[in-house]
Amino acid sequence: LFLMDEFQVQRLKEMLIVVDENDRVIGAESKMNCHLNKNIEKGLLHRGFSVLLFSSENKLLLQQRAETKYIFPGDHPLYKPLEMEESNAIGMKWATILCGSQISLDDITLVSRTHYKLCSDEVWGEHEIGYLLLVRKDVSLNPDPKEVKDCIYVTKEELKDLLEQETKDKVKLSGWFHLIANHFLLKMWDNFNDLNLFAEPDKIYRV
């Protein structure tokens, strides 16, 4: 903790939504405790969300996390009434809007939920039911350097090339992104005009 940016240390105190394997709320725990491997191995599971932001040209925004950020990319709804509203995933959508004021509720589509567990290093990891949210909108980029080191838009073919480069150890992608890319992203690119072909908001994928 002493090597972390003070901003990240403060965020560790935020209270996250603790759930069971069926995404039912069972309590709250600090972000720090939710991401310690020693607690994850005991079954501690929380809610999170990730936004797949596509431009009007169907290019996907990729972000490189800041070096001071201790866990995988993505964000978390907090243990607050507004962000816990479950009807039509309204709480998750509100949490998304709070992270980016250029996005409205109507811009957000819940694609699915994923239950996954990954290690970041010997101390930190993820055990999360992540809400996968899709947004297609042109936005002005102003990344917070405390959270994001760099960002680029990529086409479908450029993403395939990145995934190929990763297999040759030429680039490093997060374990989370690898899961999402293989299970959802490529399918989305082919079906933007009919979200019903891939949107399964009531399903939890175990990946």
Instruction: Identify the pLDDT of residue 195.
Output: 74
Q: Per residue in 104-132, pLDDT tens?
A: 888 888 888 999 998 888 999 999 999 99
Which of 39-48, 144-153, 166-175, 191-200 reaches the highest mean pLDDT?
39-48
Instruction: Identify the pLDDT of residue 5.
Output: 63
Instruction: Identify the pLDDT of residue 2.
Output: 44
Q: Per residue in 28-40, pLDDT tens?
A: 999 999 999 999 9
**Is the residue at 124 inside a domain?**
yes
- Residue 75: other Cβ atoms inside 10 A: 17
- Residue 68 above 50 pLDDT? yes
Share of the chain above pLDDT 90, in %: 33
* Containing structural domain, residue 55: 6-206
Tracing tokens 């725990």 back to the chain, one arrives at: 29
Task: State CA 124 to chain mean position distance.
Answer: 16
**Is the residue at 182 inside a domain?**
yes
Tracing tokens 């909108």 back to the chain, one arrives at: 137
Count how many domains the chain has: 1
**Is the residue at 1 inside a domain?**
no
Task: State CA 83 to chain mean position distance.
Answer: 15
Instruction: Identify the pLDDT of residue 8.
Output: 67
H-run or E-run covering 162: helix 156-167
Helix residue spans in 12-107 (DSSP H): 31-34, 37-40, 81-84, 90-99
**Is the residue at 39 inside a domain?**
yes
Tokens representing residue 111 in the block = 């694609």
- Integer angstrom CA distances of residue 200 from 50, 62, 131, 151, 157: 15, 23, 11, 28, 25
Average pLDDT of span 166-195: 80
**Is the residue at 180 inside a domain?**
yes
**Is the residue at 184 inside a domain?**
yes
CA–CA separation, 83 vs 47, rounded Å?
A: 11
Report the sign of the C-alpha dihedral through residues 16, 71, 37, 117, in that order.
Answer: positive
Please count the residues of the chain.
207
- The answer to whether residues 83 and 16 touch, using CB atoms and an 8 Å cutoff, is no
CA–CA separation, 31 vs 23, rounded Å?
A: 17
State the chain's mean pLDDT as an integer. 84
- Strands 108-119 and 204-206, by their bridges, are parallel
Q: Per residue in 161-170, pLDDT tens?
A: 988 888 888 8
Q: What is the CATH number of the domain that holds 139?
A: 3.90.79.10
